[in-house]
Structure 1
């Protein structure tokens, strides 16, 4: 929907009444909706979808600043349906990824969304990685994930061009079109989706619910607000009057496309460094048959900094002013230096890929679009590892939901919806329905 009109994206009149661009209350009770969701990525749309299914008749409005859904983290990743093997048993990531992977495959099948369950290899190329590979086997089994251990010669059964000392095969990993998933969630949610609606101010007052003013001057009022703003979630939390206790530090993930996609059959990952939430440079055959290599992870100079030339001084200044950023730099400068080198040197990036795929050459690497990870960082430099959802009066904030959030979108959406509906039930404000 255009933010200043009373018509939806198909040109139909908004059934909820006159538009509120001048700050007028609309409809019975003075509220445009029961739940106001900020952010039209896969988590925000899944939340809207879950609310309308759990509580039919609940009025949900989604505000998305871009002209369509899934323009940032959701639409700029490798499209992998993660198994959940990496995540600490009992964590939200582990529980939601394992459950979400199965649900995502079922959702894609139900709605005819392109997807494939290919399985993946996690390959150790150095002896120092073998204990970490074995630890992943144990973690996978604790999370209920089928894992097959492979010797060096057995790797070729799955990936003839890949080399390593040992590997594990995870059968439940796959790929899908997450942008198509987000569009389907939007269509099936029954929510009012307003694209081109960038939030500038949030006003939460006792007895008045939550009012949001967009860049166009429109005011939208809801009884409860859900913050799924991804790269800007901490800013929205502060605008609401809440201290999120963290800051989003953006990391750009840089990709190449493989000019000889026949070298890779499915998904191939290195053994990750347990100190980081990043999974290293991996090989991903997408649903369109192309193979992407990456991502490399470097600090972004803007929250939507998809290249070194994108610099937003205010956002960069806020990142540099956050103590956690300097703690990360001091603690992990060696790791960061390697990532920076691969960003600036195609030869260094190629060398990282050749550890697993020795046949690749620099000429095989074609630059591909980058993504940005919204990483929550605490003031002491701790990178928040698990999903982070916090509740405050009449607000639910999703403050850390990077990968595997797309995989886990359906269970995350249900969890956020549960909290939002609880807040709605506890809210003494009258519904705007007659």
Structure 2
């Protein structure tokens, strides 16, 4: 069979793209290939489960536009399909006077991005929402919510197949070749011919892009592991909603925070440390070929050289529970080391260019054979239906009946 399009990657972005394509053109011959034996096995399945409001992102950026549009699409989807979620709200806390200008910038961005109901909070007002929090000022963000994105992704997958799309699990793409305007995708189990390749491979999106590019691309995926603790059940009362710090504007990470989970419980974290393999969820996970590639990338060396002190601090927290606790105590002073138990971990696919820039926006690279979603970290899960909308529109312009 000649497919109209083959999507590589069964995370939430790949699935949302497939679903949007079939919603717009039900007659499409569509195949989605995932190397694992289940969908949502990596970034989606290890997601912290936050429905992001669009507060943090530069107005007019792909992140801002897709997050705000995707937020409403996601909520409509969850209501239609009865997927558990809760819009519980959060507060962003400035713990020092020096953070107040950065916090004000966040508030201004939120207003520019169309968020309603944002409030600047005094310490007393913060404690009315979160009685145990400490800080000099805060922002109330009523739109933030919680969800299980693996459940969302599984529903996407069900609907794709119901609409006639095909999902092939347990197949890793080894090569892509082009001939006479058509691409042949080869896996360890077979080969598939298509008019258009759509790459949503997440942690391996740069590798898949390189399979369709004649020239080297100016980015690499750098894997950052985020490690979590959970609060013991008897300490769940310390967190009523979600509690975030004011993030460091130099990094595309939001800092350690407290997140209520939709199934119950409270997560604390994550830190952000270099993972020694792209799917390295444990400290002991290691791949010398993948680590060697990371260390050899000029952009990563520039990032490491510039921010080595911050990186060392993250590693210290990774191996020191007391240091991790101290970072969390800036927000919740009552918290004690013994209140925390080990939680899960996720790996973020962060694109880094050759000049040492950590890409702050979503990145889509097109060539003759393919559309490549090359940088889709948080808030990609919140934005998934909107990203799928964008990519599907690009695809439909190129797919000829």
The verdict on a shared fold, with TM-score over 0.5 as the criterion, is yes
SS in 1 for 2:4: strand
5 Å matches for 1:316-335?
A: 316-335=291-310
RMSD between aligned residues: 1.0
Q: In the alignment, is residue 161 of structure 1 matched against residue 132 of structure 2?
A: yes
**Residue of structure 1 in register with 2:219 after alignment:** 246
Q: Is the 2:5–2:29 Cα contact (8 Å) retained in structure 1?
A: yes
Q: In the alignment, is residue 222 of structure 1 matched against residue 194 of structure 2?
A: yes
**Residue of structure 1 in register with 2:346 after alignment:** 371
Which of 86, 96, 99 aligns to 1:129? It is 99
SS in 2 for 1:314: helix
**Residue of structure 2 in register with 1:115 after alignment:** 85
**Residue of structure 1 in register with 2:265 after alignment:** 290
Cα deviation code 1:208-260 (max 9, x no counterpart): x11111123x1111110000000000000111235332000000011111112
**Residue of structure 2 in register with 1:235 after alignment:** 207
Q: Is the 2:280–2:286 Cα contact (8 Å) retained in structure 1?
A: yes
Q: In the alignment, is residue 78 of structure 1 matched against residue 63 of structure 2?
A: no
Cα deviation code 1:251-285 (max 9, x no counterpart): 00111111121210111100001111100001000
**Residue of structure 2 in register with 1:198 after alignment:** 172
What is the deviation of 1:95? 0.8
5 Å matches for 1:11-50?
A: 26=1, 31=2, 33-50=3-20
Q: Which runs of 5+ in 2 are unaligned?
A: none
What is the deviation of 1:368? 1.1
Q: Which moved more, 1:338-347 or 1:38-47?
A: 338-347
In 2, Cα distance between the equivalents of 1:160 and 1:63? 48
**Residue of structure 2 in register with 1:174 after alignment:** 145
In 2, Cα distance between the equivalents of 1:169 and 1:391? 39
**Residue of structure 1 in register with 2:57 after alignment:** 87
Q: Which moved more, 1:234-243 or 1:373-382?
A: 234-243
Q: TM-score w.r.t. structure 1 length?
A: 0.89
Q: Which runs of 5+ in 1 are unaligned?
A: 1-25, 426-430
Q: Is the 2:91–2:140 Cα contact (8 Å) retained in structure 1?
A: yes
Q: Is the 1:67–1:195 Cα contact (8 Å) retained in structure 2?
A: yes
In 2, Cα distance between the equivalents of 1:205 and 1:245? 25
Q: In the alignment, is residue 67 of structure 1 matched against residue 41 of structure 2?
A: no
In 2, Cα distance between the equivalents of 1:274 and 1:205? 45
Equivalenced residue count is 394
Cα deviation code 1:149-192 (max 9, x no counterpart): 10011111211111111100011110111001101111112320
Runs of 4+ in 1 over 6 A off after TM superposition: none
In 2, Cα distance between the equivalents of 1:360 and 1:109? 36
Q: In the alignment, is residue 411 of structure 1 matched against residue 383 of structure 2?
A: no
In 1, Cα distance between the equivalents of 2:57 and 2:178? 36
Q: Is the 2:213–2:367 Cα contact (8 Å) retained in structure 1?
A: no
